[in-house]
Amino acid sequence: MGTRENQDKPQPKAGILDIQAYVPGKSEAPSGIKLHKLSSNETPMGPSDKAKTAYIDAAANLEFYPDAASSDLRAAIANAHGLNENNLICGNGSDELLALLATCYLAPGDEAIYSEHGFLVYSIVIKAAGAIPIVAKETDLCADVDAILACVTPKTKMVFLANPNNPTGTYVPIEEVRRLHQELPANVILVLDAAYAEYVRKNDYESGIELVSNSQNVVMTRTFSKIYGLAALRVGWCYAPADIIDILNRVRGPFNVNLGAQHAAVAAIGDRNHVDRSVEHNEKWREWVAVELTKLGLEVTPSVGNFVLMHFGDASASGADAYLTERGYLLRGVGGYGFPNSLRMTIGSEEANRGVIDSLKEFLAKA
């Protein structure tokens, strides 16, 4: 028998109250101060002009429901990556697809594994499904295949691997990803979250397309929120075996990607020149930012994404965060990821990047 309080109002199912709500990066600067939002890994290049035009043109048909199957978008993704569109599903951001995977394949009492400093959404979707999140220790702030495998039990049903990882920016070489897959039981789904794949320029990195193509228990999720600059529209996609796509389609909302988002994403993925410019900008300024932060005496985790993780040592990350915020530079506190004295900085415009370094130089001189 529950307490009278529990009897007097509806109660969520077990485990929901154990979930800590996801907290997005800050988005407001003090009044009158120019905002440089470097807290959510958004691209400083903005979306393609072609994507903006496509989005505006979609306004002529707002009275109609969008294509429930996102057919044109799946065809565009398939064409861009050499995939079978029947193995693709689109979602309201890749977050929705991660949640669908957990909903469809995790039951109460099941276990799902993710790495020590992995994306916070993994824990949320695992707990929301009633399953048990299992955290595998990392080595040098990078996911450790042996540590993940050591966590596998008969209850394990899913492994989430962010590659590259947010907020560390580190990655697991494809040979290690293949080894992880080979040693997982056949009934365990390996989820490769490749949200930052377009930024990576390493010879030993692959997003996972080939592994999905040759497996029955590997899926890859991707997003249009990062390099394509469509974060406001919430568009993600998943490449998976046909059986898994069928299961996800049974549960997803029938019109889960809106009309404007579909049209803009089709145009965005077709504008290769814009993507190339965005990669070039990121390569140049990520290296510059890392070097300058190191000159200031901060430790920087080597990153292959569009952000860097800086560690403050004897200085105060929260003090630096407040100092930067007062000047309009919004970075991301990462205490929730296990880094209480660190900040994550998105690579921004030249003005923003230089401004952060100059402001940190002033802060550290006073510390």
SS3 content of the chain, % helix, strand, coil (to 5): 45, 15, 40
What is the count of structural domains for the chain?
Answer: 2
The whole-number pLDDT of residue 22 equals: 73
Residues 134 and 69 in one domain: yes
Residues 177 and 89 in one domain: yes
Structural domain contains residue 352: yes
Residues 132 and 244 in one domain: yes
Full domain range(s) for residue 67: 49-270
Residue that has been written with the tokens 């080595």 in this structure: 139
Distance between CA atoms of residues 180 and 182, nearest Å: 6
Q: Give me the CATH number covering residue 297.
A: 3.90.1150.10
Q: Is the pLDDT of residue 234 over 80?
A: yes
Structural domain contains residue 226: yes
- For 182-254, strand residue ranges (E) read 189-193, 218-223, 236-239
Residue 304: which residues within 8 A CB-CB, separation 6 or more?
Answer: 164, 169, 170, 171, 196, 199, 200, 201, 202, 205
Cα 179 to its chain centre, rounded Å, is: 23
pTM beyond 0.85, yes or no: yes
Residues 257 and 121 in one domain: yes
Q: Which helix (H) or strand (E) holds 318?
A: helix 317-326
pLDDT, tens digit (0-9, with 9 covering 90-100), for 15-69? 788 877 777 776 676 777 889 999 999 999 999 999 999 999 999 999 999 999 9
Q: Give me the CATH number covering residue 102.
A: 3.40.640.10
Residue 273: which residues within 8 A CB-CB, separation 6 or more?
Answer: none
- 270, 288, 313 - which closes a domain: 270
Residues 64 and 148 in one domain: yes
pLDDT (average), residues 211-221:
97
